[in-house]
Structure 1
Amino acid sequence: MDSKHSMISLKKKLAGLLDMIPKQSEIIYADYPLYGNVGDLFIMKGTEAFFKENDIRVRKRWNPDNFPIGRKLDPNLIIVCQGGGNFGDLYPYYQGFREKIVQTYPDHKIVILPQSIYYQNEDNLKRTADIFSAHSNLHIITREKASYATAQAYFQNNHIKLLPDMAHQLFPIIPTQQPTGQKLRFIRTDHEANDELQRHAQAESYDWRTVLSASDRRTIAFLQTLNVLNKKAGNPLPIAFIWRKYSDYIINKAIRFFSRYKSVETSRLHGHILSSLLQKENTVIDNSYGKNANYYHTWMEGVPNTQIIRDALKKENLPAHM
């Protein structure tokens, strides 16, 4: 199977979401990302594209900073939470928000879109499992086999499924310019960086902070502040609409940036996925706890023009480390 058909196949697998969110459903999109992690914005855009393709009607779009927790919701609305890689104790703000949603709305169907699960502390994982097990109609979708194994072990009272990342819904993405550079090294610099595997990438490298200009970062900070003030005023301003328009600009900027290169070497999962959506040759470097390797081995192994940097000492594709 060539790269194009491999990516089409991954996109088609997302139709499995319709088992939980049927066509023409009415939903609350509970936690769209309003921040500068461009990978999460690709997830958001894929999610919105899925909603549109399947005539899923979004009644409200909120995020953790302005969701009116406690507001009574139409019991027929499905609450849908953003996918990504923040399910666990590395990002407690977002995990805490999901737990609060689950506790506050025990009678609503809640769907958590494809997530990677990782806990450093097993007690934190057990605490989440206790909260989630009390909800009879909670659907947890995982995006790779390691997270699926963790979910099966700890979330036995919930509905568990394995599907690819929502960004695959965006295939195909057409490069917006001819490449002028050979290899883009797109290397993360935060606490998920795997220093041992990234040592060889000493040449000039970039990250999402390179894609975003100082003006972009100021605009995002302004919208975040406005979003919090908007909640205090009862959410009269269409922040979600404004952000959708501005995030389109950021997404297009990222596509232009990647289009400039013939190939990509990256430790960002969505650097890998975006490169594959653009059908560029790419090499993925694992992150600090195996997320990238887990995803690669679950969905991308065998896709033409993709490979992973392996290390004999690195445990790959195992259930989340405790």
Structure 2
Amino acid sequence: MPELGDTERARGLAALRDRFDRALAAWLGDDRDVVILDYPNHDNVGDSLIWLGTRDSLRRLGVRVAYATSNEYLRPELVDRLAGLPVLFHGGGNFGDMWPATHTTRLEMIRRFPDRRVLLLPQSVHFEAPDGDRETVRTLTGHPDLTLFVRDEPSLSWATAAGVRAELVPDAAFATEPRRLPRPRGTGAVAVWRSDKEARPGQELGPAAAGLTRTDWPEDLAPARRAFMAAMRLHVLLRAPRGVRRAAVLACDLMAARELRRGIALLADAPVLVTDRLHGAVLGLMTGRTVCRVDNTYGKLAAVLDLWWPGEPAIATAATRAEAEAWAVGRAGAA
């Protein structure tokens, strides 16, 4: 029998799935075919979780993905062939100037398709440079039919001030079907720490304590990823006839599912998790773990988790990685 806390968590997740589905259904209206751009062809497991949540929601709504591709293999002329279909952009935390390559491509594609309905799936908006958002504001407000879904209130405030049509919507990861998310059955604790520029400085750690495993989403050049990239190159070479477009969508789905399984395996079946990755925390909560979070450089974790999962007893907060690891060791030892 599930414990009361597990039941309440499941109800909360079901409510978030439903809210995401309703927001997406309202935007889509009668459209039943879409294009999705910006497949996350990299090693951030959280982005694969976002992709799968989006795809699960579209399936529940009976919406087909006519074409999908990652930025490396994006050829706008192939999207041109699918005249009239709405264009969706993958959600996440790369909206702004911290990850400029992805954001620049996104803006280029928005300008390329002024005749399409465009939806930016739930984003966290963050600009480091003063006035670094000028081009973004011009591009978004200059499109005649664009909507920005945002996943936190600071991002909604930015959009409102900029005059961008926006709606507050849960992160797409929350829309993932529970069948994809096995619960932990082991013991101990795991720490998933960022090793990129979103990690707060001054977070050095000594040797890991007994019973604690440290990791991050690792780089992966396994045959499956090479096969994915070969499939995407082939679809460009063949100029994406209908059957090849379907194969490209399937390749994205299969690769994202593989990445999620790899991420779950990295959690080492431990019931206690500490992390400064938003989707490390989200994945931990969705799989029934107890989580302690340390925020990233601009407060992304608090902005999202406190909004959509307020007062959750399974979430603790620490100011530093060392503090979080001490909490995890104590929690795992008491279990």
Work out the CA distance in 2 between the residues paired with 1:305 and 1:177.
14
TM-score of the pair, normalised by structure 1? 0.85
**Contact 2:69–2:252, Cα closer than 8 Å, also in 1:** no
What is the match of residue 261 of structure 1?
270
Match of 1:190 among 196, 202, 227: 196
- Count matched residues: 304
Work out the CA distance in 1 between the residues paired with 2:207 and 2:161.
40
Query: CA 1:205/1:297 → structure 2, altered by over 3 Å: closer, same or farther?
Result: same
The Cα shift of 1:159 comes to 1.7
Letter in 2 for 1:44: W
Give SS of 2:49's match. helix
The Cα shift of 1:181 comes to 2.9
Work out the CA distance in 2 between the residues paired with 1:5 and 1:230.
41
What is the match of residue 319 of structure 1?
none
- Mapped pair 1:224 → 2:195: no
What is the match of residue 9 of structure 2?
3
What is the match of residue 39 of structure 1?
46
Work out the CA distance in 2 between the residues paired with 1:83 and 1:251.
16
Letter in 2 for 1:307: A
Work out the CA distance in 1 between the residues paired with 2:84 and 2:238.
27
**Contact 1:282–1:305, Cα closer than 8 Å, also in 2:** yes
Work out the CA distance in 1 between the residues paired with 2:61 and 2:9.
25
Match of 1:246 among 255, 258, 261: 255
1:202-223 per-position Cα deviation (integer Å, ceiling 9, x unaligned): 62511111xx6x553x642563
Query: CA 1:239/1:26 → structure 2, altered by over 3 Å: closer, same or farther?
Result: closer
TM-score of the pair, normalised by structure 2? 0.82
- Mapped pair 1:126 → 2:126: no
What is the match of residue 86 of structure 1?
94
Work out the CA distance in 2 between the residues paired with 1:128 and 1:284.
31
- Mapped pair 1:19 → 2:45: no
Query: CA 1:304/1:24 → structure 2, altered by over 3 Å: closer, same or farther?
Result: farther
Letter in 2 for 1:105: F
- Unaligned stretches of 5+ residues in structure 1: 312-322
Q: What is the RMSD of the two structures over their aligned residues, measured on CA atoms? A: 2.5
- Mapped pair 1:104 → 2:109: no
**Contact 2:191–2:273, Cα closer than 8 Å, also in 1:** yes
**Contact 2:184–2:287, Cα closer than 8 Å, also in 1:** no
1:171-196 per-position Cα deviation (integer Å, ceiling 9, x unaligned): 53576465323211111111111134
What is the match of residue 333 of structure 2?
none
- Mapped pair 1:281 → 2:286: no
What is the percent sequence identity of the aligned residues? Answer: 23
Give SS of 1:192's match. coil
**Contact 1:79–1:108, Cα closer than 8 Å, also in 2:** yes
More helix by share: 2
Query: CA 1:186/1:105 → structure 2, altered by over 3 Å: closer, same or farther?
Result: same
Give SS of 1:45's match. helix
**Contact 1:23–1:54, Cα closer than 8 Å, also in 2:** no
The Cα shift of 1:6 comes to 2.0
**Contact 1:264–1:281, Cα closer than 8 Å, also in 2:** yes
Work out the CA distance in 1 between the residues paired with 2:91 and 2:304.
14
What is the match of residue 60 of structure 1?
67
What is the match of residue 147 of structure 1?
155
**Contact 2:231–2:251, Cα closer than 8 Å, also in 1:** no
Work out the CA distance in 2 between the residues paired with 1:174 and 1:69.
32
Letter in 2 for 1:43: I
Work out the CA distance in 1 between the residues paired with 2:179 and 2:227.
30
What is the match of residue 292 of structure 1?
301
1:15-67 per-position Cα deviation (integer Å, ceiling 9, x unaligned): 22222123652111122212221110000011110110000121111221222
Work out the CA distance in 1 between the residues paired with 2:231 and 2:184.
38
Letter in 2 for 1:184: V
- Unaligned stretches of 5+ residues in structure 2: 321-335
The Cα shift of 1:258 comes to 2.9
The Cα shift of 1:153 comes to 1.4
Bigger mean CA offset, 302-311 vs 182-191: 302-311
Query: CA 1:122/1:75 → structure 2, altered by over 3 Å: closer, same or farther?
Result: farther
Query: CA 1:193/1:202 → structure 2, altered by over 3 Å: closer, same or farther?
Result: farther
